[in-house]
Amino acid sequence: METPKYYSSRGFKTGKVTIPGFDLVELPKNCFFRNDGDVKDIRKHVIKVCRQMNTSPGYIGSENHLSLAYGNHLEFTEISAGSTVKASVIMVKEEQYLLSKILSFGHESVHALIYFGLEEHIIKKLRESGFQMDPFKKYPGDEESVAMIGGFLTVYNLEKILNKNLGTILNPELNRYKLDLDKSRIL
């Protein structure tokens, strides 16, 4: 099994890490996270990261509903001698509207949290932000929909901090997640 140094020398963090939109999160044992932030070309960056990890990711191309162009989450799982090591990398495309970028960050963060088994943290953040929805019950077995809720939650919280509206999503297929989130507001 690769040592923690293998991951730290590749820029991964473990222990208490900042996951965009979800604050400081205590990662379970043997979990590593890296936020690559803004990248020019998602596809090229994915290839670069895979080379760096001497492997191919278990999770590429499932962002097609949004087009891989907006963001991605890569998972590198290593199983040896009965233990599992999980390493996650998130990234978003540099050139996009702020609203879309924040939405993408929150979305990819949810994939990372689910991968680490931290579903509870997503629900906790929703409660703290004033929403009673449990997206895992609302969309059973549908991680993409849960990720969309995480995206809109992140936009909501940033708008509150900035005290300004970041704009409107015109795509009704995406906007229905915002409506679902708004409906679960605890007044």
Residue 1 Cβ vs Zn ion, minimum distance, rounded to whole Å:
28
Nearer of residues 38 and 144 to Zn ion, judged by Cβ: 144
Nearer of residues 143 and 159 to Zn ion, judged by Cβ: 143
Q: In a 3-state reduction of DSSP, which class is residue 124? A: helix
Residue ranges binding Zn ion (CB under 5 A) = 63, 144, 147
Residue 124 Cβ vs Zn ion, minimum distance, rounded to whole Å:
21
Spatial distance between the Cα atoms of 81 and 76, rounded to a whole number of angstroms: 17
Beta strands in the chain (DSSP E): 16-18, 24-26, 31-39, 71-80, 83-93
Residue 65 Cβ vs Zn ion, minimum distance, rounded to whole Å:
7
The tokens for 115 are 């991968």
Residue 25 Cβ vs Zn ion, minimum distance, rounded to whole Å:
18
Residue in the structure block whose two tokens are 């509206």: 165
Residue in the structure block whose two tokens are 């004033």: 130
Q: In a 3-state reduction of DSSP, which class is residue 168? A: coil
Q: Measured at CB, which residue is nearest to Zn ion? A: 147
Residue 135 Cβ vs Zn ion, minimum distance, rounded to whole Å:
13
The tokens for 90 are 């998130």
Nearer of residues 15 and 58 to Zn ion, judged by Cβ: 58
Nearer of residues 63 and 180 to Zn ion, judged by Cβ: 63
Q: Which of these, 138, 140, 92, lies nearest to 112 by C-alpha position?
A: 92
Nearer of residues 61 and 130 to Zn ion, judged by Cβ: 61
